[in-house]
Amino acid sequence: MTSSRLKVLITGASKGIGLATSKMLADQGHAVVGLARTQPDDFPGVFHAIDLEDEAARDSLFKQLAAEHQFDGLLNNVGLVNPAPLEEITLKDFDACADVNLRCSLQAAQAVVPHMKEQGSGRIVFTSSMVVAGVPFRSSYAAAKAGMVSFTRSWALELAPFGITVNAVAPGPVETELFNTNNPPGSESRTRYIEGVPMKRLGLPEELAAANCYFLSGQSGFTTGQTLFVDGGYMTGKSAL
């Protein structure tokens, strides 16, 4: 899959890790189709503005795009955090986290996998998170991101006979708009995250994009079912799923 121009579908592609990955893939000569609420000015490919929290709308668009394009790769990157202490988690917010992180990923995969099976190759990548190890006030998000790790392992086994790899990249704290919104400068949570990173800094979106591109377009055809922590050493010495 490294010798030809690939076509990759990316959710949550308008900023942060999704946009950085889109640009890196385009720089490598690949075609990118991006989805998110708002189109960035400098998106390096085809972009569809959509609220991915709308189940019916995204299902319709996934099916439309699968019919129009022959996708070689899928990056399930869109995410929703909804931070809250245990006593204040509402079922509505919990369900929204599961929906955007997991159900949306499931629908996207179901749309693109038939073609991947037919051509005998494909790459699926999840943006999971270091929070799978446990982080205060992130119960809903951590549960959803842990679900992505389970999707990764289960789908890898199921799809391996068809030449389709499934992997996850689990970022540590990364300088993105989503991270800054939920962990603003000066906040206790931001300080806690950075203090937990041996490198004592936030990651850059481009550093996560490099890992995504390895799984989506690099020499990774014999690697599947794995979760790669790109976290400045945060998970080193901790028990991971």
Q: Nearest-CA neighbor of 182 among 128, 131, 127, 228?
A: 131
How many residues in the chain?
241
Residue keyed to tokens 């990774």: 220
Contact (Cβ atoms closer than 8 angstroms) between residue 71 and residue 9 = yes
Calculate the CA 115 to chain-centre distance. 21
| In the chain, domain spans | 7-230
Question: What contacts 43, CB < 8 A, 6 or more positions away?
Answer: 13, 14, 19, 22, 34
Selected from 3.40.50.720, 3.40.50.1100, 3.40.50.970, 2.130.10.10, the CATH number assigned to the domain covering 7-230 reads: 3.40.50.720
Taking only the tens place, the pLDDT of each residue in 6-44 is 999 999 999 999 999 999 999 999 999 999 999 999 999
What is the pTM assigned to this prediction?
0.95
What integer is the mean pLDDT of 179-207? 93
Taking only the tens place, the pLDDT of each residue in 48-76 is 999 999 999 999 999 999 999 999 999 99
Question: Strand, helix or coil at 153?
Answer: helix
* Confidence at 239, pLDDT banded by 50, 70, 90: low
Q: What's 138's DSSP letter?
A: B
Residue 155 has phi, psi (to 5 degrees) of -70, -35
Please state, in angstroms and rounded to a whole number, the distance separating the CA atoms of residues 120 and 106: 20
Catalytic residues: 141
pLDDT given for residue 240 in this prediction: 57
* Strand-strand pairing, 31-36 and 227-230: unpaired
pLDDT given for residue 182 in this prediction: 84
